[in-house]
Chains A and B, each alone.
Chain A
């Protein structure tokens, strides 16, 4: 158990819909990272937050947005969903800002029909 909690574990929805994925980092970790992993694909970096502030952005679509709240949990919002958004979405946390080990959650599997 990494200590990172992601909900929901599985989500099935239709094209055009909007979903929110939630992540609770390990206790004491200030950084949260979001990654997308499609079938047979590697881990695509989406966005990083540190202590409530956005610090780095990858190739995140404009239809996607995220935030980190004062209690350090984070949410990834995906809107106007398309079939190609079906993927595993991972949240990972780190103690500080680029300090070392990333701790990953078990992922949220999104299926868009």
Chain B
């Protein structure tokens, strides 16, 4: 199965700073790379994703970059705001496989201080 690692496990920034979270995976067949945000007391929600035919995708203050050769992808948040405080998860998988355990990374807790 897929081995997924996220770094760092905790990230504290000041409001307005940038934050970067990295996800490393093991399955070279993975072709879908999403990031989920989980706020306290809620289920995770997709915030951005990228497929393997694209190297970078941006949506306002968030972006995802992919390095398939090195098997890692990163979440970038610019101009952080207190409402960005949450736990972020990556969950890469092979969309062509009829079988997938959809493994999530252990999560990164982002704390944005005003």
Q: Is A82 at the interface (CB under 8 A from chain B)?
A: no
Given the interface contacts A100-B95, A101-B34, does A2 sit within 8 Å of B43 by beta carbon?
yes
CA distance A112 to B95 in the complex (A): 37
Q: A104–B45 contact, CB under 8 A?
A: yes
CA distance A64 to B44 in the complex (A): 23
Q: B46–A102 contact, CB under 8 A?
A: yes
Q: Is B101 at the interface (CB under 8 A from chain A)?
A: yes
Annotate A42-60 by CB proximity to B: 1 below 8 A, 0 otherwise.
Answer: 1101001000000111100
Contacts of A42 in B (CB 8 A): 89, 104-107
Q: A45–B102 contact, CB under 8 A?
A: yes
Q: Is B114 at the interface (CB under 8 A from chain A)?
A: no
Given the interface contacts A43-B89, A100-B32, does A58 sit within 8 Å of B106 by beta carbon?
no
Given the interface contacts A45-B103, A97-B98, does A2 sit within 8 Å of B45 by beta carbon?
yes
Closest-by-CB residue of B relative to A41 is B106
Closest-by-CB residue of B relative to A45 is B101
Minimum Cβ distance to chain B for residue A21 (Å): 14
Contacts of B97 in A (CB 8 A): 98
Q: B102–A104 contact, CB under 8 A?
A: no
Annotate B44-61 by CB proximity to A: 1 below 8 A, 0 otherwise.
Answer: 111001000000000000
Q: A43–B100 contact, CB under 8 A?
A: no
Contacts of A101 in B (CB 8 A): 34, 46, 49
Q: Is A85 at the interface (CB under 8 A from chain B)?
A: no
Contacts of A97 in B (CB 8 A): 98
Q: Can you sample 19 A-B contacts with CB below 8 Å? A: A2-B43, A33-B102, A42-B107, A45-B103, A48-B101, A55-B99, A56-B100, A56-B101, A58-B101, A97-B98, A98-B94, A102-B34, A102-B44, A102-B46, A102-B91, A102-B102, A103-B46, A104-B44, A106-B42
Binding site for A on B (CB under 8 A): 32, 34, 36, 42-46, 49, 89, 91, 93-107
Binding site for B on A (CB under 8 A): 2, 4, 33, 35, 41-43, 45, 48, 55-58, 90, 92, 97-107
